[in-house]
Structure 1
């Protein structure tokens, strides 16, 4: 079990969080924190409890015990919609983009600007805001009128991140954003994350299986094993080899007798 220390810049703090599903103890006594301008790498093998923890942080599940503090205030996330209204955004692997729609409409999905009283779309204003949002975080998309389906995987991932930032996110959770990407596209997303970190306005939790990328881009690393965070350390003080050793130690067979 790890203990967290108080930090006035913490955007989210989870203290002694537990969650059970019937006979399965998914999480037990979780302590986690992420500060503004920080990227936390969350790693762990399949079934360790990462998905359950993320769903609690985004209001999809309620914890059985413990408490959550958002920007210093104890908060109960009543739903995903409630969590989003506070500034908690998640980018899942499926991205939730509409391929046939242009970039600017994807950035405003479910938050379209309309004229009043006639409900006509304010297309020119949405294009302008989309261009500003992309330029502000350094995403190179030649035209905001291009259909999302025509873009590369890295560009689509970047647009999904931009949409969350465009929504005034304070906490961004990224679920395997580099999965199935080549080195060039993955590098684009890593540079985007670095730019967001340098701006200092956003707290980010990055779930990833590529420990080299975690060590390179994250400020701290948390290892989740069997529903507990067993490792919390600055990335600069650890290595890929150490993380691999910790994750896979439980699967090593003991030496055969007589050896």
Structure 2
């Protein structure tokens, strides 16, 4: 399923996850290659959300293994995945609307002043965070009036952009994006897709979970198709069309 001689950045082998009598993952495999955007698609109940939760540390699979840069890892929570360099942009964004852009970029990772002010009195190094926030946004070519403005004053696409910038700033291995264009208009969707491409171009491979087939074919290099808790195919977007992907998703066309 992967290119010959190319070691996946993130890989799953034989993942199983059961909820009582329901098997959400039934020996699922997955592989993300360096410098690529791979889309994960599937009908409701296909197990794609469960797969992504396992890869992001949100759940622990019952069986199987996950490998990062070829080495087995075991995540007991999202914090473990973040420490390993995997960042996730969730559909609900997880931003603090009343706080400014800088505060949101460093949410939970605030930088304290050096010396006794930071270690004892926990004073934040606001100037440094503002400078670095500006650098992160500039690296992704995001156009926002001021990093001091509250996130609640931004458009939906700009809020999504802040969440993407936060993940790109701290990820070392992988960025996972869960339905990043959901509920966005055409213009804002275009902005977010451009951001996803820029994240990839900076050397961070991206996992994109999306129901938006035009967006998938716009940015993804490959498509991982999930059905009945398993991977049924991985196809290059240059070698298939939307109809072919839907046929694999629904079982109208059997997987390879």
Could you state the TM-score of these two structures normalised by the residue count of structure 2? 0.92
Which residue pairs with 1:143 in the alignment?
A: 146
In 1, are the aligned partners of 2:82 and 2:171 still within 8 Å (CA)? no
Can you give the 5+ residue segments of structure 1 that lack an aligned partner in the other structure? 251-259
In 2, are the aligned partners of 1:17 and 1:28 still within 8 Å (CA)? yes
Which residue pairs with 1:228 in the alignment?
A: 230
In 1, are the aligned partners of 2:232 and 2:248 still within 8 Å (CA)? no
Q: Distance in 2 between matches of 1:163 and 1:112?
A: 12
| Alpha-carbon displacement from aligned partner over 1:196-254 (angstroms, at most 9, x marks no partner) | 2222x21211000011110110000011111011121111111112223333456xxxx
In 2, are the aligned partners of 1:8 and 1:72 still within 8 Å (CA)? no
**Residue 175 in 1 paired to residue 178 in 2?**
yes
Judge which range, 241-250 or 207-216, deviates more: 241-250
Aligned residues: CA RMSD:
1.5
Cα gap change, 1:7 to 1:67, in 2 (>3 Å) = farther
**Correspondence 1:67-146 to 2 at 5 A:** 67-115=65-113, 116-118=115-117, 119-146=122-149
Q: Distance in 2 between matches of 1:196 and 1:23?
A: 40
Q: Distance in 2 between matches of 1:9 and 1:136?
A: 27
**Correspondence 1:21-40 to 2 at 5 A:** 21-40=19-38
Aligned length: 247
In 2, are the aligned partners of 1:15 and 1:31 still within 8 Å (CA)? yes
Cα gap change, 1:179 to 1:33, in 2 (>3 Å) = same
Judge which range, 41-50 or 161-170, deviates more: 161-170
Corresponding residue SS for 1:10: coil
Shift of 1:60: 2.1
Q: Distance in 1 between matches of 2:5 and 2:168?
A: 23
| Alpha-carbon displacement from aligned partner over 1:49-88 (angstroms, at most 9, x marks no partner) | 1111111111222222221110111111122111110111
Q: Distance in 2 between matches of 1:94 and 1:166?
A: 19
Q: Distance in 2 between matches of 1:52 and 1:246?
A: 19
| Alpha-carbon displacement from aligned partner over 1:138-176 (angstroms, at most 9, x marks no partner) | 111121001100001001001101001111342111110
Match of 2:218 among 206, 216, 233: 216
Shift of 1:4: 4.7
Cα gap change, 1:109 to 1:247, in 2 (>3 Å) = same
Shift of 1:30: 1.2
In 1, are the aligned partners of 2:224 and 2:234 still within 8 Å (CA)? yes
Q: Distance in 2 between matches of 1:198 and 1:177?
A: 18
In 2, are the aligned partners of 1:19 and 1:26 still within 8 Å (CA)? yes
Q: Distance in 1 between matches of 2:242 and 2:250?
A: 12
Corresponding residue SS for 1:68: strand
Can you give the 5+ residue segments of structure 2 that lack an aligned partner in the other structure? none
